[in-house]
Amino acid sequence: MKTYAIIESDLRHDCASDLITNLTTSQDLAYSQRYSRKIRQDQSLLARAILRKGLAEQTDTSPFDWEISLGQDHYFKADHIGGSMSFYISISHSKHKVVVAWSEIHRTGVDIEWLDPKRNMNAVLGQISHPNAVIPEDLAQQYRLWTMYEAYFKASNLEPVRIPVALSQIVCLKPDDYVQTLALGEGNLTFETWLNADYVTTICYTE
């Protein structure tokens, strides 16, 4: 039984502008202004809109009953204004896609990336990989490793440093195993990864 929820949306969908207009707050708008590019602002607003919609549907509350902020434990959270519920949340966006995840139990990190064929992922991963890590040759697997790296640091609340060797071993040794639990740091982290057309998404959550 899954103990997290995840929603994906697309800025190109007809409903995207309606969601942004009808389900975001002045605080959401203010947060989006930290981005200089219009598409990034829209990504941020759509993500918060679908997060509010998903939380409201799951908990039978209003989309505007939720305060989205950085908690005292330095994890992003959605807190019910009545004080009765709190969820760990994670948001990611790439190109036209946005994805949000939340869990009442698990610290959660999510990342989505568009598979850009022109991006030199060998160079990108080479700069952040542990010296003993092996970088996969396949582009999709390279992006899979990148999303696992991003999701890992969101869920663990660590400063991004080097990709742990264990993550590269998952991708290189088990390229078709898209659910994997690892003992990293003080506890176990579970990774789930999937490919959808030209995007790859990974969610990571604490056990």
pLDDT digits (tens, 9 = 90+) for 30-70: 999 999 999 999 999 999 999 999 999 999 999 999 999 98
Residues with Cβ within 8 Å of residue 12, at least 6 apart in sequence: 96
Which residue type does 102 have? Answer: W
pLDDT digits (tens, 9 = 90+) for 143-153: 988 898 889 88
- Quick one: average pLDDT of 199-205? 91
pLDDT digits (tens, 9 = 90+) for 106-146: 889 999 999 999 999 988 888 877 777 778 888 988 898 88
At 2, the pLDDT band (50, 70, 90 cuts) reads low
Q: What is the pTM of this model?
A: 0.86
Return the structure tokens found at 167. 């993550």
**What are the b/e assignments for 49-78, b being 16+ CB within 10 Å?**
bbbbbbbbeebebebebbebeeeeeebbbb
